[in-house]
Amino acid sequence: ALKNNGLLTSRFGQPSEVKLSFSARTSPILLTKVTNSILATMGYSYYVVSKAELSQGLSNIEFSFNTEHNPDIGIILDELSKRGFVCLDINRISEQQWEYVLEVNEPRLPNTKFLAKSATLNLREVSGEYWLALNANGDLHIQTINFIKWNPRVVLYDKNLGIVDIVANTGMSASAKIRVPRGVKFVMITDYDSPESLKGGISVNLK
- The per-residue pLDDT for range 53-92, each reduced to its tens digit, is 999 889 999 999 888 777 888 899 999 999 999 999 999 8
pLDDT of residue 20: 93
- Do 17 and 62 lie in one domain? The reply is yes
> Residue-wise over 125-140: b if at least 16 C-beta within 10 A, else e?
beebebbbbbeeebeb
Domain hosting residue 151, numbered range: 113-206
- Do 190 and 119 lie in one domain? The reply is yes
pTM higher than 0.85: no
Q: How confident is the model over 108-133, as a mean pLDDT?
A: 92
10-33 pLDDT, tens digit per residue, is 666 677 788 999 999 998 989 999
pLDDT of residue 202: 93
Last residue of a domain, one of 104, 137, 163: 104
pLDDT of residue 99: 95
- Do 72 and 34 lie in one domain? The reply is yes
Amino acid at 97: Q
Structural domains in the chain (count): 2
